[in-house]
Amino acid sequence: MPHIVVHLSGQPDPAISRRVVESVAGLTQSVLGKKLPVIAITLQYIPHEQWFIGGQALSKLGRNAFHLDISVTDETNTKAEKARYIQEIHDAFRGILGELHECSYVHVIDARAAAYGYGGRTQEYRHQHG
What residues does each domain of the chain span? 3-128
Mean pLDDT of 89-101: 97
**Mean per-residue pLDDT over the chain, rounded:** 96
Distance CA(58)–CA(90), nearest Å, equals 17
pTM score > 0.75 for this model?
Answer: yes
Which 3 state secondary structure label does DSSP give 119?
A: coil
Amino acid 42: pLDDT = 98
Contacts of residues 35-41 at CB distance under 8 Å and 24 or more positions apart, as own/partner, are 38/1, 38/2, 38/118, 39/2, 39/4, 40/2, 40/3, 40/4, 40/118, 41/4, 41/5, 41/6
Share of the chain above pLDDT 70, in %: 100
Question: Per-residue pLDDT averaged across 80-108, rounded?
Answer: 98
- pLDDT, average across residues 98-110: 97
Residue 7 has pLDDT above 80, yes or no: yes
**Is the confidence at residue 36, as pLDDT, over 90?**
yes
- Tally the C-alpha atoms within 13 A of residue 39's C-alpha that lie toward its C-beta: 19
Q: Which CATH superfamily is domain 3-128 in?
A: Macrophage Migration Inhibitory Factor (3.30.429.10)
Q: What is the mean pLDDT of residues 81-88?
A: 98
Q: Which amino acid is at 15?
A: A
Higher pLDDT, 125 or 17: 17
